[in-house]
């Protein structure tokens, strides 16, 4: 008879699903739980942005209320908008990261590649990323509602 192991039971129940590459951004993050929840939704592209609401027939005005330049989607909302990109650039400089921020998918790809370890720099980056996403989302909601 084989010895009982919780890990083996969990793996059997879980199945052979692939782990997402951005999992470290959520599960190894010391940010506030509400930050992590919004980051999780953003990573899964489940935030109710105006482009998603337009597909549901809820709204017809797609313009991002902060810059009034482009339509609101997750790519523009996070890091492509000139205002948010400026803030993100300053936050990267504050952390001592010498790079320019990219678009949403580029930033997440960079983070999953370079900030997956447990150094203090990586921990701070993950918290700043989650906090930035959360506060941009809250500001967006405050402007709309």
Domain-by-domain residue ranges, the chain?
A: 20-144
Query: Given pLDDT bands bounded at 50, 70 and 90, which one contains residue 62?
Result: confident
Per-residue pLDDT tens digits for 10-49: 888 888 778 889 999 999 899 999 999 999 999 999 999 9
Cβ atoms within 10 A of the Cβ of 133, count?
Answer: 28
* pTM metric for this prediction: 0.86
Q: Are 25 and 124 in contact (CB under 8 A)?
A: no
Half-sphere exposure of 15 (CA within 13 A, CB side): 2
Q: Please give the helix or strand (H or E) that residue 29 lies within, else none.
A: none
- Which are the contacts of 67, defined by CB distance < 8 A and separation ≥ 6? 81, 82, 83
Cα gap 135→16, rounded to integer Å: 35
């Amino acid at each position: 008879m084989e010895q009982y192991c919780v890990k083996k039971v969990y793996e059997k129940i879980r199945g052979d699903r692939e782990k997402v590459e951005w999992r470290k951004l959520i599960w190894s993050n010391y940010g506030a739980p509400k930050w992590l929840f919004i980051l999780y939704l953003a990573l899964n592209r489940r935030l109710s942005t105006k482009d998603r609401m337009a597909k549901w027939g809820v709204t017809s005005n797609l313009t991002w209320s902060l810059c009034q330049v482009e339509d609101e989607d997750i790519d523009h909302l996070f890091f492509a908008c000139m205002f948010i990109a400026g803030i993100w650039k300053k936050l990267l400089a504050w952390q001592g990261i010498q790079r320019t921020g990219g678009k949403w998918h580029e930033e997440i790809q960079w983070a999953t590649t370079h900030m997956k370890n447990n150094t203090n720099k990586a921990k701070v980056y993950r918290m700043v990323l989650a906090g930035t996403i959360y506060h941009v989302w809250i500001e967006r909601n405050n402007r709309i509602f």
